[in-house]
């Protein structure tokens, strides 16, 4: 495996096996995750995504002595109003307390969708919501909070204001960092954001110093035609590469959209020194920086599927 691939995609998959299309039971998802974590190709694997309603069974994720630690992302309930979101988050935050201290089993990420009314309220409303969620969690340590905002079909200005609100909340309360969660697909063609929409969101996050967590629709390594949806779908390699080139080359939305829309895997050249896309290149240091300050991970209901995709393109030994 080339070092560029390892740096770009290491610990990139937050395993969401309980969610469609896999829709496994909690026990099945736990077994799959622990088996993957103990496997020889665990380099892709990051967190186990646990719905808030399943927190009562999270101890099943505790690894055996000597096994790698287990890290959990909790998917919390949203609400139609800010006060409803605050109350529900407070309840989940109390349930999360036993696993916020680190160790072999720890929760280090909390994800929740913002009410559309909050997003439409502008940057100040989003900043207020971000603070409300962070404070309601009552965490004694750093916990990344991922706030989802609607992307497909949303004006870039609306997403940009949401990103500004997240950045404002981070400036005012840096103890619990907040990031942007982007949904890259869904069950209909309308749920898939265009390359331009996704590019504008990535640029807004970059320019405001906001991390990005991605989810849904990233079932293939590269952009491709999804016959079931009747539209082109995003690739996880395109996403991470676009974020890296956006940082290293200060690309504008048009340049980022071109990488997101790239359907030819041969346009990407991998080496132990860095990654090239057509005539542009990013060093290993640049890739590492993009993972640290750009796109952190993506949710996937499978670990085998991304691995199989990379193998099919000859990117894994």
pLDDT digits (tens, 9 = 90+) for 263-283: 999 999 999 999 999 999 999
CATH of the domain at 190: 3.20.20.70
pLDDT digits (tens, 9 = 90+) for 137-185: 987 667 999 999 999 999 999 999 999 999 999 998 767 899 999 999 9
CA dist 83 and 85 (Å) reads: 5
Phi, psi at residue 100, to the nearest 5°?
-100, 5
Q: Is residue 271 situated within a structural domain? A: no
Q: Is residue 47 situated within a structural domain? A: yes
- Let me know the angle formed at the C-alpha of 17 by 15 and 20, rounded to the nearest 5 degrees: 120
Q: Is residue 40 situated within a structural domain? A: yes
Phi, psi at residue 300, to the nearest 5°?
-145, 135
Q: Is residue 161 situated within a structural domain? A: yes
Q: Is residue 282 situated within a structural domain? A: no
Q: Is residue 166 situated within a structural domain? A: yes
Number of domains composing the chain: 1
Q: Is residue 131 situated within a structural domain? A: yes
Mark residue 311 as left, alpha or beta (left: phi above 0; alpha: psi -120 to 50; beta: remaining): alpha
pLDDT digits (tens, 9 = 90+) for 216-231: 999 999 999 999 999 9
Q: Which domain holds residue 201?
A: 3-216+296-301
pLDDT digits (tens, 9 = 90+) for 97-127: 999 877 899 999 999 999 999 999 999 999 9
H/E run at residue 13: strand 13-15
pTM: 0.96
H/E run at residue 215: strand 212-215
């Amino acid at each position: 495996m080339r070092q560029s691939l390892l740096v770009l995609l290491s610990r990139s998959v937050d395993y969401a096996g309980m969610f469609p299309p896999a829709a496994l039971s909690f026990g099945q998802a736990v077994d799959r995750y622990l088996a993957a974590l103990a496997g020889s190709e665990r380099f892709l694997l990051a967190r186990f995504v646990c719905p808030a309603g399943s927190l009562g069974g999270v101890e099943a994720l505790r690894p055996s002595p000597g096994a790698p630690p287990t890290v959990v992302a909790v998917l919390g309930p949203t609400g139609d109003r800010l006060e409803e979101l605050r109350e529900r988050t407070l309840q989940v935050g109390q349930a999360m307390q036993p696993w916020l201290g680190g160790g072999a089993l720890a929760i280090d990420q909390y994800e929740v969708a913002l009410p559309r009314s909050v997003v439409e309220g502008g940057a100040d409303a989003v900043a207020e919501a971000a603070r409300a969620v962070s404070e309601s969690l009552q965490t004694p340590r750093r916990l990344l909070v991922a706030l989802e905002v609607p992307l497909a079909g949303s004006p870039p200005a609306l997403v940009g204001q949401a990103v500004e609100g997240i950045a404002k909340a981070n400036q005012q309360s840096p103890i619990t960092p907040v990031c942007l969660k982007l949904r890259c697909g869904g069950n209909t063609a309308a749920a898939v954001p265009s390359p331009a929409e996704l590019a504008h969101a990535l640029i807004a996050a970059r320019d405001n110093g906001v991390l990005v967590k991605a989810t849904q629709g990233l079932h293939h390594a590269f952009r491709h035609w999804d016959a079931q949806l009747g539209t082109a779908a995003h690739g996880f390699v395109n996403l991470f590469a676009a974020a890296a080139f956006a940082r290293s080359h200060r690309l504008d939305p048009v340049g980022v959209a071109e990488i997101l829309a790239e359907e030819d895997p041969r346009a990407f050249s991998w080496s132990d020194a860095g990654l090239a896309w057509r005539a542009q290149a990013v060093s290993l240091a640049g890739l590492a920086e993009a993972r640290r300050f750009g796109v952190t991970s993506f949710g996937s209901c499978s670990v085998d599927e991304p691995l199989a995709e990379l193998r099919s393109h000859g990117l894994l030994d």
